[in-house]
C-alpha cells in the first residue's frame, strides 16, 4: 500500500476552496454541511478541488429516528456509495480524496466524540482521509476551522495553510 502523506496534515488549501467550504456551511445552517476536498497524489500537501455533498442526516432520522436520533443540526451522513465511488475514482485518477469536511453549528470547530466514532469505529480510521471542521455561529459568521489527523492512536489537531492559488503566466 502506498504512503498517503496527507494523513499527517500540513495541507495547503487554496483560499477560494476554503471560501466555498465557508459558503456551504453558511447555506446549510442551522444544519451541518459536508463535502470532500481532493488533490494530486504526487503533491500530498496540495488541495486542488472541493465537492459539496448532501447531508443525509435528516433523511435518515425521518426514516428511522430510533437508529438515527440525530438530525443535521448536530450530525452529518454522507452517502456510502457516493463516498466509495469518490475514493475509488480519485485514486484511479491520481487525485485522491484527502479531506472530509463538515461544519458545526454554534459550538466550535472540534472533532466530537461522535465524529471520532464515525471516523474510527474500531479505533482505527476507516478511510484514508483527514477531517476539516468549520464552526458557524449564529447563522452568519464562520469563526474557526480546524484540521484533525489520526496520530499515535488518537485524533489531534493538525496543521494546514490557506494560500492563494499560484497565478498562471
In-domain check, residue 165: no
How confident is the model over 31-55, as pLDDT tens digits?
999 999 999 999 999 999 999 999 9
* Cell reading at 21: 467550504
Q: How many domains does the chain have?
A: 1
In-domain check, residue 125: yes
In-domain check, residue 164: no
What CATH number is associated with residue 114? 3.40.140.10
* Cell reading at 7: 494523513
Euclidean distance between CA atoms 116 and 128, whole angstroms: 14
In-domain check, residue 79: yes
* pTM score: 0.94
Quickly state the pLDDT bin for 8 (edges 50, 70, 90).
Answer: confident
How confident is the model over 57-98, as pLDDT tens digits?
999 999 999 999 999 999 999 999 999 999 999 999 999 999
Question: Which residues form the domain of 13?
Answer: 5-158
Element (H, E) at 47: none
In-domain check, residue 167: no
Strand extents, DSSP E, 6-110: 11-14, 34-38, 49-53, 97-105
pLDDT of amino acid 166? 64
Euclidean distance between CA atoms 131 and 149, whole angstroms: 7
β-bridge mates for residue 162, sequence order: 13
Strand 160-163 relative to strand 11-14, pairing: parallel
Q: Is the pLDDT at 1 greater than 60, yes or no?
A: no
In-domain check, residue 103: yes
In-domain check, residue 127: yes
β-bridge mates for residue 137, sequence order: 141
Asked whether the beta carbons of 32 and 75 are under 8 A apart, the reply is: yes
Q: Is the pLDDT at 139 greater than 80, yes or no?
A: no
In-domain check, residue 166: no
Amino acid at each position: 500500500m502506498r504512503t498517503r502523506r496527507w494523513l499527517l496534515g500540513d495541507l495547503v488549501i487554496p483560499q477560494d476552496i476554503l471560501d466555498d467550504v465557508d459558503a456551504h456551511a453558511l447555506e446549510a445552517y442551522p444544519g451541518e454541511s459536508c463535502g470532500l476536498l481532493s488533490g494530486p497524489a504526487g503533491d500530498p500537501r496540495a488541495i486542488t478541488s472541493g465537492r459539496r455533498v448532501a447531508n443525509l442526516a435528516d433523511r435518515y432520522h425521518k426514516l428511522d429516528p430510533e437508529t438515527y436520533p440525530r438530525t443535521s443540526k448536530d450530525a452529518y451522513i454522507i452517502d456510502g456509495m457516493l463516498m466509495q465511488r469518490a475514493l475509488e475514482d480519485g485514486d484511479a485518477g491520481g487525485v485522491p480524496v484527502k479531506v472530509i469536511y463538515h461544519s458545526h453549528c454554534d459550538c466550535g470547530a472540534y472533532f466530537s466524540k461522535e465524529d471520532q466514532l464515525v471516523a474510527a469505529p474500531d479505533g482505527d480510521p476507516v478511510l484514508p482521509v483527514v477531517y476539516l471542521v468549520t464552526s458557524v455561529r449564529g447563522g452568519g459568521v464562520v469563526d474557526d476551522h480546524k484540521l484533525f489527523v489520526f496520530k499515535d492512536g488518537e485524533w489531534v489537531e493538525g496543521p494546514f495553510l490557506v494560500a492563494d492559488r499560484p497565478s498562471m503566466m
